[in-house]
């Protein structure tokens, strides 16, 4: 049984059906990526997992337990944590406070302090900026804060929404290296990306989405070599 | 390539930036509407009665001037870092100023043509005279538009001028306005002593500053400001002083301020004691509202309701009147010290109840919703249905003063100390809250509700806590207010109080507790 199972969900914005029966499975310790064009419904999928949107039909399960009707903060408490699209750090809090917010549902002070040290080892750039107001960081640094903040929650599964968006090629490299490193430390990751080339390159498994539907699935490498994918996403 | 696409997408999702001219028009409109608003709610006419410089300038006119100058300043600000002098800036300022004046001119024309007074009671003939500068309709409209345009240009020039110069002029102006607005207080303080008395007579009449006085104050304040700048220029700038030293300096300043606060009313007598006490109450409420607005980002215009609840609870529990609970239930009449915590508690409960219906509401709608709820509380209190219990518009009288041991705290100065003590305790609590887990959760919700939620914050819980704790501060203030006046009426709890408190914290800097 997969850690996260999305089973034929339909999600609506009022009358617009944004997801028309989407099924995705993420196994423990895997990187699974969801790629697709603008407006395909990738963010919508992640918002449904986090409980911000509720599917009208279908079910989402974590470790076999249904997440239906749970409020977002309880889903977060179960270990499903997002690095949202466009970073969305708490702009007026300091880097340090942002990290602390990530550990909001935890009470083990000592372990939180240790995790913070681990984050600073993972992102040394944040070390000298701990007291800086997060809104004044560069885009790449904000992405680091958003990622570290999510990891501070010790997620069972990390949902990342376009972490490479708007970053320079060097930063993009760095982001994907970090994702791989995080995964090697044992964190399960569902990665949403526009950058299909890079995403499929590091993913164990990939899903291709088009206007609210999954149109292709397969191992990351296989999809990279797939003719249709190459034509549509890799130019 | 992908990154480029993403960037384009972000840009595409925003509207194209407006042209400079459009922006000038919008700025002018905003300032004009600000003036319009002040006129319609009656503030303009009210403060027009207040002279700053006798026969020359009233507070109302000063406000109009400020609107004009502000328009120009805003145009320059809008240009950003590289705002520099150009004819275009001047033209745009003139244009924006004319629009701001034009909005008010429209009001004047409308007032002349229609009987707007039936709808907006504040649009009185007196306001008409003020806005037309006694020049009749045509003259007034011309002066409004032309003057506003000229002022905006001046505002733009001043903003572009050398920073040092602007600062000193500003300080001079502020000093004049300060001495003008607080003339009663200052005059009372200047009553004693021959020399001081003589000075007083030169700068003041009993209605406001004399023109000579205004000039004198302007010159002195500007000179002091210049001198201070010169002296400071010799020292190291603030940023370079070591943090420890800076902290010490700050503590010393705070200590002096506290000492002044403690001693001042004692020396100044009971009238000023009363004024300071009102200020203290506003500060208490400000701290409470700051929890809601500054930390949790929940705009609340119904805040006065909690103040009213605190006051009424105290009154009902302690008053020696037929409306007090003790008069018709078995509950004994309580002392103030017993009633105060109950008043705070009731306020918290009302605060939470108040929070529930507006939980899902965001942003601007929240302001309207809370304003409505606040007014509902007042209307209920005033209504006939609740009159047997809450005494309706007559209010509740004969609320006893608190006793400390066997001393009755009846003098405003004594009550001021009570306020000060409460404010100190409250400030400590607010400070602790701000640096707590809950405080951080509030700030996270303020910055991004969805993400905060997705990180495990229970939105419902933290929002209701913000309303509840904010209400506690207001309830405490209300409770003191009740014993200060010894009688309370529903009309004391106008919407305006909420707005005043809000203005206080905006001026004081959102979320900055020491303010
Ligand atoms: N709040 C909303 N209200 C109405 N429709 C929405 C809303 N958010 C998204 N949609 C619509 O739902 C569809 C899917 O949007 P979604 O944000 O999930 O796309 P996406 O795959 O994440 O795209 P992108 O790569 O641009 O982020 C789009 O057609 C979009 O217009
Ligand atoms: Mg998206």
For the Cβ of A35 lying below 6 angstroms from any atom of ligand 1, the answer is no
Interface of B with A in 449-468 (CB under 8 A): 450-459
- Give the residue from chain B lying closest to A49, CA to CA: B454
For the Cβ of A38 lying below 6 angstroms from any atom of ligand 1, the answer is yes
Closest ligand 1 atom to residue A42 Cα is 21
At B227-286, the pLDDT tens digits run 877 776 554 444 444 555 656 666 666 666 666 666 655 555 555 666 667 777 777 888
Q: Whose CA is nearest to atom 24 of ligand 1?
A: A38
- Give the residue from chain A lying closest to B456, CA to CA: A73
> Within 13 Å, how many C-alpha atoms sit on residue B237's CB side?
1
Contact with chain B for residue A161, Cβ under 8 A: no
For the Cβ of A164 lying below 6 angstroms from any atom of ligand 1, the answer is no
Distance A44 CA to ligand 1 centre (A): 6
Q: Residue A209: which pLDDT band, with cuts at 50, 70 and 90?
A: very high
Q: In angstroms, rounded to a whole number, what is the distance separating the alpha carbons of residues A105 and A154?
A: 10
> Cβ of A52 and B441 within 8 Å?
no
User: In this predicted structure, what is the pLDDT of residue B394?
Assistant: 64
Distance A192 CA to ligand 1 centre (A): 13
Residue A166 region by backbone torsions, left for phi larger than 0, else alpha for psi between -120 and 50, else beta: left
Q: Over 90: is that where the pLDDT of B387 sits? A: no
Nearest CA-CA distance, residue B238 and chain A, Å: 19
User: In this predicted structure, what is the pLDDT of residue B418?
Assistant: 79
For the Cβ of A36 lying below 6 angstroms from any atom of ligand 1, the answer is yes
For the Cβ of A15 lying below 6 angstroms from any atom of ligand 1, the answer is no
The CA-to-CA distance between both ends of chain B, in Å, stands at 49
Each domain of chain A, given as residue ranges in start order, spans 4-79+156-234, 91-154
Mean local confidence (pLDDT), B7-14? 40
- Tokens (6 digits) for A39: 């407006």
Residue of A52, A97, A169 with shortest CB distance to B454: A52
> Cβ of A84 and B450 within 8 Å?
yes
Contact with chain A for residue B14, Cβ under 8 A: no
User: In this predicted structure, what is the pLDDT of residue B514?
Assistant: 42
Nearest CA-CA distance, residue A72 and chain B, Å: 5
How does the average pLDDT of chain A come out, rounded? 91
Is residue B64 within 8 A of residue B145, CB to CB? The reply is no
Nearest CA-CA distance, residue B102 and chain A, Å: 38
Q: Over 90: is that where the pLDDT of A22 sits? A: yes
For the Cβ of A129 lying below 6 angstroms from any atom of ligand 1, the answer is no
- Tokens (6 digits) for B327: 């008069």
> Cβ of B457 and A104 within 8 Å?
yes
Q: In angstroms, rounded to a whole number, what is the distance separating the alpha carbons of residues B340 and B430?
A: 19
Residue of B456, B458, B512 for testing the chain A interface, max A β-carbons within 10 Å: B456
At B298-307, the pLDDT tens digits run 877 777 888 8
Residue of A92, A99, A153, A160 for testing the chain B interface, max B β-carbons within 10 Å: A92
A46 vs B271, which has greater pLDDT? A46
Chain B residues touching residue A104 (CB < 8 angstroms)? 437, 440-441, 444, 455-457
For the Cβ of A135 lying below 6 angstroms from any atom of ligand 1, the answer is no
Q: In angstroms, rounded to a whole number, what is the distance separating the alpha carbons of residues A160 and B325?
A: 59
At B81-101, the pLDDT tens digits run 555 667 788 888 888 888 888
Q: Residue B326: which pLDDT band, with cuts at 50, 70 and 90?
A: low
Q: Residue B180: which pLDDT band, with cuts at 50, 70 and 90?
A: confident
For the Cβ of A40 lying below 6 angstroms from any atom of ligand 1, the answer is yes
Is residue B160 within 8 A of residue B89, CB to CB? The reply is yes
Q: Whose CA is nearest to atom 17 of ligand 1?
A: A43
Residue of B440, B451, B456 with shortest CB distance to A84: B451
Q: In angstroms, rounded to a whole number, what is the distance separating the alpha carbons of residues B498 and B489?
A: 16
Q: In angstroms, rounded to a whole number, what is the distance separating the alpha carbons of residues B463 and B130?
A: 45
User: In this predicted structure, what is the pLDDT of residue B218?
Assistant: 84
The residues, any chain, with a CB within 8 Å of residue B320's CB and separated by 6 or more, are B333, B398, B399, B400
At B475-495, the pLDDT tens digits run 898 888 888 777 777 666 665
Tokens 């603008």 correspond to A38
Q: How far is CA B446 from CA B57, B370, B440, in A?
A: 42, 17, 10
Q: In angstroms, rounded to a whole number, what is the distance separating the alpha carbons of residues B459 and B453?
A: 6
Distance A38 CA to ligand 1 centre (A): 8
Residue of B1, B6, B456 with shortest CB distance to A104: B456
Please tell me the pTM assigned to this model: 0.64
For the Cβ of A16 lying below 6 angstroms from any atom of ligand 1, the answer is yes
Q: In angstroms, rounded to a whole number, what is the distance separating the alpha carbons of residues B396 and B486?
A: 9
- Give the residue from chain B lying closest to A53, CA to CA: B450
Q: Whose CA is nearest to atom 14 of ligand 1?
A: A41
- Give the residue from chain A lying closest to B5, CA to CA: A166
Q: Over 90: is that where the pLDDT of A183 sits? A: yes
Neighbours of B507 (CB within 10 A): 10
User: In this predicted structure, what is the pLDDT of residue A200?
Assistant: 92
Q: Over 50: is that where the pLDDT of B8 sits? A: no
Q: In angstroms, rounded to a whole number, what is the distance separating the alpha carbons of residues B37 and B187?
A: 32
DSSP, res B396 = B
User: In this predicted structure, what is the pLDDT of residue B313?
Assistant: 86
**Best CA proximity match to B318, nearest among B306, B336, B330, B345:** B336
Chain B residues touching residue A101 (CB < 8 angstroms)? 440-441, 444, 452, 455, 457
A40 vs B373, which has greater pLDDT? A40
Chain A residues touching residue B5 (CB < 8 angstroms)? 194
Contact with chain A for residue B448, Cβ under 8 A: yes
Q: In angstroms, rounded to a whole number, what is the distance separating the alpha carbons of residues A71 and A105?
A: 14
Q: Residue B212: which pLDDT band, with cuts at 50, 70 and 90?
A: confident
Chain A residues touching residue B459 (CB < 8 angstroms)? 73
Is residue A137 within 8 A of residue A125, CB to CB? The reply is no
Nearest CA-CA distance, residue B242 and chain A, Å: 17
Closest ligand 1 atom to residue A192 Cα is 22
Contact with chain A for residue B363, Cβ under 8 A: no
For the Cβ of A155 lying below 6 angstroms from any atom of ligand 1, the answer is no
User: In this predicted structure, what is the pLDDT of residue B510?
Assistant: 44
Architecture of domain A4-79+156-234: 3-Layer(aba) Sandwich (3.40)
Q: Whose CA is nearest to atom 16 of ligand 1?
A: A41
Residue of A82, A93, A166 with shortest CB distance to B454: A82
Q: How many CB pairs under 8 A join A and B?
A: 90
Mean local confidence (pLDDT), A49-66? 92
Is residue B31 within 8 A of residue B74, CB to CB? The reply is yes
Q: In angstroms, rounded to a whole number, what is the distance separating the alpha carbons of residues B104 and B143?
A: 11
Contacts 24+ apart (CB under 8 A), A118-123: A119/A148, A119/A151, A119/A152, A122/A148, A122/A151, A122/A178, A122/A181, A122/A182, A123/A147, A123/A148, A123/A178
Is residue B305 within 8 A of residue B351, CB to CB? The reply is no
Beta strands in B378-482 (DSSP E): 403-404, 407-408
Chain B residues touching residue A88 (CB < 8 angstroms)? 448, 450-451
Q: How far is CA B142 from CA B95, B106, B132, B155, in A?
A: 14, 11, 9, 19
Q: At residue B335, what are phi and psi to the nearest 5 degrees?
A: -80, 165
For chain A, what is the largest distance between any 2 Cα atoms, rounded to a whole number of angstroms? 51
Distance A228 CA to ligand 1 centre (A): 23
Mean local confidence (pLDDT), B293-319? 82
Closest ligand 1 atom to residue A13 Cα is 4
């Amino acid at each position: 049984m997969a850690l996260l199972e999305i089973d034929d969900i339909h999600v609506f914005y009022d009358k617009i059906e944004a997801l028309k029966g989407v099924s995705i499975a993420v196994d423990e310790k895997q990187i699974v990526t969801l790629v697709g064009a603008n407006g395909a419904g990738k963010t919508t999928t992640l918002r449904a997992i986090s409980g911000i949107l509720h599917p009208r039909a279908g079910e989402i399960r974590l470790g076999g337990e249904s997440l239906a009707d749970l409020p977002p903060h309880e889903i977060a408490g179960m270990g499903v944590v997002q690095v949202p699209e466009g970073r969305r750090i708490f702009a007026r809090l300091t880097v340090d406070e942002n990290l602390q917010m990530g550990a909001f549902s935890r009470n083990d002070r000592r372990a939180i302090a240790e995790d913070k040290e681990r984050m600073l080892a993972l992102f040394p750039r944040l070390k000298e900026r701990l007291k800086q107001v997060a809104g004044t960081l560069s885009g790449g640094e904000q992405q680091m804060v958003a990622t570290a903040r999510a990891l501070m929650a010790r997620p069972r599964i990390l949902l990342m929404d376009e972490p490479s968006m708007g970053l320079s090629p060097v930063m993009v490299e760095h982001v994907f290296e970090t994702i791989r490193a995080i995964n090697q430390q044992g964190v399960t990751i569902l990665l949403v990306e526009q950058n299909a080339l890079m995403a499929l390159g590091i993913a164990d498994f990939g899903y291709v989405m088009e206007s609210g539907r999954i149109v292709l699935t397969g191992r990351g490498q296989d999809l990279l070599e797939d003719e249709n994918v190459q034509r549509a996403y890799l130019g | 390539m992908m990154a480029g696409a993403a960037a384009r997408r972000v840009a595409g999702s925003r509207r194209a930036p407006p042209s400079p001219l459009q922006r000038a028009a919008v700025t002018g409109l905003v300032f004009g509407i600000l003036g319009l608003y002040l006129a319609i709610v009656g503030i303009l006419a009210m403060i027009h009665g207040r002279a700053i410089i006798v026969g020359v300038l009233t507070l109302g006119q000063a406000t109009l001037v400020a609107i004009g100058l502000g328009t120009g300043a805003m145009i320059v600000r809008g240009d950003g870092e590289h705002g520099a002098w150009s004819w275009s800036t001047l033209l745009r300022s003139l244009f924006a100023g004319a629009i701001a004046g034009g909005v008010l001119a429209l009001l004047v024309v409308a007032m002349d043509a229609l009987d707007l007074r039936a709808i907006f009671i504040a649009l009185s003939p007196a306001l008409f005279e003020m806005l037309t500068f006694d020049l009749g309709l045509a003259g007034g409209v011309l002066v409004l538009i032309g003057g506003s345009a000229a002022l905006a240009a001046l505002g733009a020039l001043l903003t572009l001028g050398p920073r040092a110069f602007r600062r000193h002029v500003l300080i001079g102006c502020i000093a004049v306005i300060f001495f003008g607005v607080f003339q009663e207080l200052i005059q009372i303080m200047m009553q004693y002593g021959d020399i001081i008395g003589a000075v007083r007579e030169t700068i003041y009449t009993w209605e406001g500053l004399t023109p000579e006085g205004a000039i004198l104050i302007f010159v002195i304040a500007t000179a002091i400001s210049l001198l201070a700048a010169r002296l400071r220029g010799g020292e190291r700038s603030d940023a370079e002083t070591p943090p420890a030293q800076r902290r010490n300096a700050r503590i010393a300043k705070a200590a002096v301020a506290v000492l002044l606060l403690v001693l001042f009313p004692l020396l100044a007598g009971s009238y000023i004691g009363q004024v300071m006490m009102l200020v203290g109450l506003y500060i208490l409420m400000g701290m409470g509202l700051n929890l809601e607005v500054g930390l949790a980002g929940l705009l609340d215009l119904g805040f006065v309701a909690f103040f009213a609840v605190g006051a009424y609870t105290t009154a009902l529990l302690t008053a020696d009147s037929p409306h007090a609970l003790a008069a018709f239930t078995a509950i004994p009449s309580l002392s103030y010290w017993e009633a105060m915590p109950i008043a705070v508690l009731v306020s918290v409960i009302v605060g939470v109840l108040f929070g529930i219906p507006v939980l899902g509401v965001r942003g601007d709608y929240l302001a309207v919703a809370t304003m409505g709820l606040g007014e509902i509380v007042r209307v209920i209190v005033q209504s006939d249905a609740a009159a047997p219990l809450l005494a309706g518009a007559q209010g509740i009288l004969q609320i006893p003063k608190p006793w400390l041991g066997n001393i009755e705290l009846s003098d405003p100065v004594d009550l001021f100390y009570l306020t000060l003590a409460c404010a100190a305790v409250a400030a400590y609590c607010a400070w602790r809250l701000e640096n707590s887990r809950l405080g951080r959760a509030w700030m996270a919700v303020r910055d991004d509700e969805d993400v905060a939620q997705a990180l495990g914050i229970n939105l419902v819980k933290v929002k209701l806590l913000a309303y509840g704790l904010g209400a506690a501060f207001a309830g405490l203030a209300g409770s003191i207010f009740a014993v200060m006046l010894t009688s309370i009426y529903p009309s004391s709890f106008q919407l305006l109080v909420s707005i005043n408190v809000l203005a206080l914290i905006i001026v004081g800097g959102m979320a900055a507790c020491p303010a």
